[in-house]
Amino acid sequence: MPLKSLQSLLQFTTVLPLGRPADLACFARRSYIYPVAGYVTGGIAALFVFWIHVPAVAAALGVAALFLVSGCNHLDGLLDLGDGVMAHGSRERRVAALTDRSLGSGAFAFGISFTLISFACLIGQAHIWAALIASEVGAKFSMAFLTASGEPFHEGLHSFLHSHARPYFAFIALLFCLPLVLLPFSPAALAAMGIAMVATPLLLLYLARRLFGGVNGDVVGASNEITRAVILLVLTLV
């Protein structure tokens, strides 16, 4: 994996100080490496909580660490998606709500709901550090999937990344997730997590096409937050 592609990926998905900005095209040509960013962000959050033995505190710090290391970029996409989904009327009105930089009630509803789900489910994990890594890697897979599969409805950052992606990128991204089987989860939990990390972006792709006529960067960013919450949910329930 060329180092420039990795540097570009991490500069795109985190606020880590990694020197001069790398050409985003280096990452765009290899967007299947998205899950690598999940190991980094999830790993950093795991280090924050590994030595904390109060579950509620560890869960809260874990979620906060994920927000901080990502610069809340994906959370911003979730808020915008909330406004777009909750808007009433035509597709044009939904797209306008999705792309409007102001925040409405849908944004707050989505942001609070999925953050609470993630927090509550982390509390119930026997290994919070492992759940943070697994959910972040799975969340980044969803971004790779939508980047490759989500036809853009307008010109923008997503359309640039999509133009360099290929349909098989999702399969390669899935291979990057295989080391997750080494984490301390039961086979049933691992299977449920695998289903969740594939089914969630598939559902988001369907909804985005139906509601907005395609995908944009907000939908891709939102998929990170939603897929993480769904993975944590299935890890708690299974």
* φ/ψ (deg, to 5) at 124: -85, 5
Secondary structure in 3-state letters for 135-170: HHHHHHHHHHHHHHHCCECCCCHHHHHHHHCCCCHH
What pLDDT sits at residue 1? 57
The fraction of the chain above a pLDDT of 90, given in percent, is 84
Check pLDDT > 90 for residue 228.
yes
Helix (H, G, I), strand (E, B) or coil at 216: coil
pLDDT band at 130 (very low <50, low <70, confident <90, very high): very high
DSSP-H helix ranges across the chain:
3-13, 24-28, 34-49, 55-70, 73-86, 91-99, 105-123, 128-149, 157-164, 169-176, 187-212, 217-237
Q: What is the dihedral of CA 168, 209, 136, 55, to 10 degrees?
A: -150
Q: What value does the mean pLDDT of the chain take? A: 94
What pLDDT sits at residue 2? 76
Q: Hey, CA dihedral for 66, 72, 76, 79, is it positive or negative?
A: positive
What pLDDT sits at residue 73? 87
Q: In the predicted model, what is the mean pLDDT of residues 12-25?
A: 90
Q: For residues 33 and 9, is the Cβ–Cβ distance under 8 A?
A: yes
Q: In the predicted model, what is the mean pLDDT of residues 25-29?
A: 92
Task: Give the C-alpha separation, 190 to 187, whole Å.
Answer: 5
pLDDT tens-digit readout, 167-220: 999 999 999 999 999 999 999 999 999 999 999 999 999 999 999 999 999 999
How crowded is residue 132: how many other Cβ atoms within 10 Å of its Cβ?
32
pLDDT tens-digit readout, 105-124: 899 999 999 999 999 999 99
Predicted TM-score (pTM) of the model is 0.95
Check pLDDT > 90 for residue 22.
no
Residue 83's Cα: distance from chain center in Å?
18
